[in-house]
Amino acid sequence: MDDTLLGPVAMVGAGSMGQGWAIVFARAGAEVRLFDAAPQVLDAARPAIAARLDALAAHGLLNEPPQQVMARITSTSDLEAALAGVQHVQENVPEQLELKLELFRRLDALAPADAVLASSTSSLPASAFADTLAGRARCLVAHPANPPFLLPVVELVPAPFTAPEVVVRTRARMARAGQVPVVLRREVDGFIYNRLQGAVLREAYWLLKEGIADVAGIDAVMTAGLGLRWSVVGPFETADLNYRGGIAEHARRMGERYREMGAARGQPDVWDDALVARATAERRALLPLDQWDERVAWRDARLMAARAAGQGVPDSYNAAGDDSAEDA
Ligand SMILES: NC(=O)c1ccc[n+]([C@@H]2O[C@H](COP(=O)([O-])OP(=O)(O)OC[C@H]3O[C@@H](n4cnc5c(N)ncnc54)[C@H](O)[C@@H]3O)[C@@H](O)[C@H]2O)c1
C-alpha cells in the first residue's frame, strides 16, 4: 500500500459532502481539516461525523474505534490553516458557478503548489471554473455519490487542461482511500452517474404519467429487481450474462425491442453493429466465453449473499395491492 497518498487533506465546505468525504479519508488514515464559511456548520460537522462513525462501527464497517478515526479530523475557520501542507483539497460548496469560480481562485492562491484541487460538483465541468487559473493543471472534478463512505464510486473528470499526472495521482489516492475511481475520458454534462440516473428517472416519470403504476410499484421494480442485480453487475455485464453467447447474442435477440421502445419515446439511439461489436470486444477481453457459466454462478452467489443480507425487499411496497392496509 502506498501511504504517501494518505497525507493531509482539506475539506472546503463541511456540509453533507464535506462530512462524507471526511469520513472516507480519515477512515483510511489521513489527517482531515474541515473548513466552512458558516460557523454553525463547522460546529455541527464533527458531532455529525462522530455519530456516523458510531453507526459504521455498529455495522462492523470500521477497522478501528470511532474515536481513533475522529482524532484525525479537525476543524478550522481559517482557510489558510486548513490548506497548510495538504496534498489534496476537496471542494464541497453549493452548486453555484460564481461560488466555485471565486473559491478556486482562492484555493489556487493559498494551497501548496503540489496539492490537487478537486471539486465534488455534480454537474459543472472544471473547465467552467478553473480555466483561467495559473494552477489549472492541478484542477479536476472528483464527483462522489451520496454518501461517499457507503457508495464508493467517484467520477474523476479532467478538463482538457488537467495534467494527466494529476488524474493518475488522484485515482491512486481515491483507490487507496477505499473508493472506486472511474476516470471519464472527457467532460460531459451530468458525467456518467447522473446521465444513467437521469435516463432511469425520465422513464420512471413517464411510467407514472401514463399511470402504468404508482411510485411505490415503479420503485419496487428497481429495488427488488434491476437495482439489486445492478449492485452486482452493471448493465453491460447484465446483458452479457443474460444470454448464452454473451452481449452480442443479447443485442441480436433484444436490440430491436429496445430500439422500438426508444423510438416510440423519441429516443432513436441505435445499438448499431459497430457499437455492439465494440461492447462485445470489451466484454470478451474481460470475460472469455468459456468462463461464462462460471461467471453466471458467481453472479448468482453474489445475489444470494445480498438476499441473505435482506436486500431486495422493498419495505414501502404493498405487494398485495391492498390499499386498505395503509389505513389499518
Ligand atoms: N448532496 C449530494 O447528494 C451531492 C452528491 C454529489 C455531489 N454533490 C455536490 O457537492 C457539493 C456540495 O454539496 P452538499 O450537498 O455538501 O451541500 P451542502 O449545502 O450540504 O454544503 C455546502 C457547504 O458549503 C458551505 N459554503 C458555502 N460557501 C462557502 C465558501 N465560499 N467557502 C467554504 N464553505 C462554503 C456552506 O456553508 C455549506 O455548509 C455541490 O457541488 C454538490 O453538487 C452533492
1 versus 240: the higher-pLDDT residue is: 240
Which residue, among 68, 292, 127, has the nearest Cα to 141 in the 3D structure?
Answer: 127
DSSP 225: I
Ligand 1 pocket residue status of 19, Cβ below 6 Å:
no
> Which residue CA neighbors atom 28 of ligand 1 most closely?
93
β partners of residue 157: 141
Residue 57's pLDDT is what?
98
Residue to substitute in 40, 93, 129, 157 for testing ligand 1 pocket (most ligand atoms within 8 angstroms of CB): 93
Per-residue model confidence as pLDDT tens digits over 142-183: 999 999 999 999 999 999 999 999 999 999 999 999 999 999
Kindly indicate the confidence band of residue 324, based on its pLDDT and cuts at 50, 70 and 90: very low
Q: Per-residue pLDDT averaged across 43-54, rounded?
A: 98
Q: Per-residue pLDDT averaged across 180-198, rounded?
A: 97
List C-alpha distances in Å: 220 to 158, 165, 214, 216, 314. Answer: 36, 43, 10, 6, 6
Sheet holding 73-75, edge to edge: 73-75, 32-35, 9-12, 88-91, 116-119, 139-144, 153-158, 180-183
**Ligand 1 center from residue 184 Cα (angstroms):** 22
Residue to substitute in 105, 120, 129 for testing ligand 1 pocket (most ligand atoms within 8 angstroms of CB): 120
Kindly indicate the confidence band of residue 322, based on its pLDDT and cuts at 50, 70 and 90: very low
- What is the percent of the chain with per-residue pLDDT over 70, rounded to a whole number? 95
To the nearest whole number, what is the mean pLDDT of the chain?
A: 94
Q: For residues 17 and 143, give the distance between their C-alpha atoms in angstroms, rounded to a whole number.
A: 10
Per-residue model confidence as pLDDT tens digits over 279-303: 999 999 999 999 999 999 999 999 9
317 versus 149: the higher-pLDDT residue is: 149
> Which residue CA neighbors atom 18 of ligand 1 most closely?
15
**Ligand 1 center from residue 17 Cα (angstroms):** 6
Residue 319 has pLDDT above 70, yes or no: no
Residue 51 has pLDDT above 80, yes or no: yes
Q: Per-residue pLDDT averaged across 138-145, rounded?
A: 98
Contact 229, 239 (CB under 8 A): no
Q: For residues 132 and 101, give the distance between their C-alpha atoms in angstroms, rounded to a whole number.
A: 9
Question: DSSP for 92-120?
Answer: ---S-HHHHHHHHHHHHHHS-TT-EEEE-
Ligand 1 pocket residue status of 281, Cβ below 6 Å:
no
Q: For residues 175 and 24, give the distance between their C-alpha atoms in angstroms, rounded to a whole number.
A: 11
Kindly indicate the confidence band of residue 3, based on its pLDDT and cuts at 50, 70 and 90: confident
User: 3-183 — its CATH code?
Assistant: 3.40.50.720
List the chain domain ranges: 3-183, 193-314
Q: For the whole model, what pTM was predicted? A: 0.94
Residue 261 has pLDDT above 60, yes or no: yes
Per-residue model confidence as pLDDT tens digits over 209-234: 999 999 999 999 999 999 999 999 99
Ligand 1 pocket residue status of 127, Cβ below 6 Å:
no
Residue to substitute in 12, 36, 119 for testing ligand 1 pocket (most ligand atoms within 8 angstroms of CB): 36
